[in-house]
Amino acid sequence: MTEKFMIGTYTSHTSQGIYGVTLDPATQQLSASWLVAESGKPSYLQVANDRAFAVYQADGQGGIASYALTNDHATRLAQALAAGSPPAYVGFDATRQLLFVANYHTGLISVYHVAADGQLTLADQVQHEGATGPAPEQDAPHPHYADLTPDGRLVVCDLGMDLVVVYDLSAEGKLTAKSRYQSEAGFGSRHLVFAPNGKFAYLLGELSSQLEVLQYDAATGAFAHVQTIKTIPADWTAHNGAAAIHISQDGQFIYTSNRGENTIAVFAVQADGTVNHIQSITTAGDFPRDFELSQDESYLIAANQNTNNLTLYARDAASGQLTLLQQDVACPEPVCIKCW
């Protein structure tokens, strides 16, 4: 059976908004992309049943928007905008109908309540402040990720501060700081994923091109360092920025994207939660900001921002390794991809 994916984009050049693409397992090919909804700079998005939530920019303001999904298209229902740049990340809690927004440029973490008709109401905001790292990109706090822990807290990655903050989260969307985990200076905390057992998390550093294995204590909401490993070869000297991270449903494999080396790096998870690097494979394009596994995890699709193309791989469930199937699937400025 075919499977659809939704693609968020920058709209700096030829992109008109949110796009879609279909994967046909029978032919192991992706369809041509189509326009799902016209939108300004929908650079990150989430899909939840018949709704989608995306970064939104209009009239010099930035924020988020909600969409109703019908067949292959989306209709905007509501938006929440403020002066300044749009956010970098959108997370969603289907149980409490809460939307989490991390704004890289303003340092703000925002929580919105989502009504049944898609209307968005601000529930709480937290301003990140404090010491930042040594890299030029760390001129200020830069929250880049805000999403749920397995036990229902909110975890935020701040690239500017080399910091992960865990917040207790009430049913009404109110935030209370619970713990802080500090990576080494210049790490550039960008995104993380949790192991299925909830005991380990895998934190990706954009600026250092490193992956940290962390132990998570649900009783205290705190992280402890276990391992640090590079996502690129030790002798790589050109620029690279680690971008996206995903974990297989069985918790056995970690995948990260490298913008610069232009690869997907594959790591095998060991019994103690640590990881070994087992593969790096070209994305057949430039600047792979994001990628996504298919629902049955037999396939992986990478989105190459600078070369306006998608790349399709077959994934071996036993070894975790990827095999290139299709490249040069045209899609303008793709920077986020989600199962639809």
- Separation of alpha carbons 243 and 74, rounded Å: 27
Quote the pLDDT of residue 255.
99
In whole angstroms, give the CA distance from residue 340 to residue 338.
6
* The pLDDT of residue 265: 99
Per-residue model confidence as pLDDT tens digits over 138-151: 999 999 999 999 99
Q: What is the pLDDT of the chain when averaged over all its residues?
A: 98
**pLDDT tens profile 267-298:** 999 999 999 999 999 999 999 999 999 999 99
Question: What pTM did the predictor assign?
Answer: 0.98
CA distance 125 to 103: 11
The domain made up of 44-188+200-221 has a fold known as: Methylamine Dehydrogenase; Chain H (2.130.10)
* Identical fold, 1-10+17-34+231-340 and 44-188+200-221: yes
Gap between the Cα atoms of 168 and 12, Å rounded: 37
Token digits for 68? Answer: 């109703």
Q: Where are the beta strands (DSSP E) in 149-305?
A: 154-158, 163-169, 175-182, 189-194, 200-205, 210-217, 222-230, 241-247, 253-259, 263-269, 275-282, 288-293, 299-304
Name the DSSP class of 138.
G
Please report the pLDDT score of residue 316 as a whole number: 98
Burial of 236 (0-12, 13-18, 19+ CB in 10 A): middle
User: Is residue 137 classed as helix, strand or coil in its secondary structure?
Assistant: helix
CATH top-level class for 1-10+17-34+231-340?
Answer: mainly beta
Q: What is the pLDDT of residues 218-269, one digit of tens each?
A: 999 999 999 999 999 999 999 999 999 999 999 999 999 999 999 999 999 9
Domain ranges of the chain: 1-10+17-34+231-340, 44-188+200-221
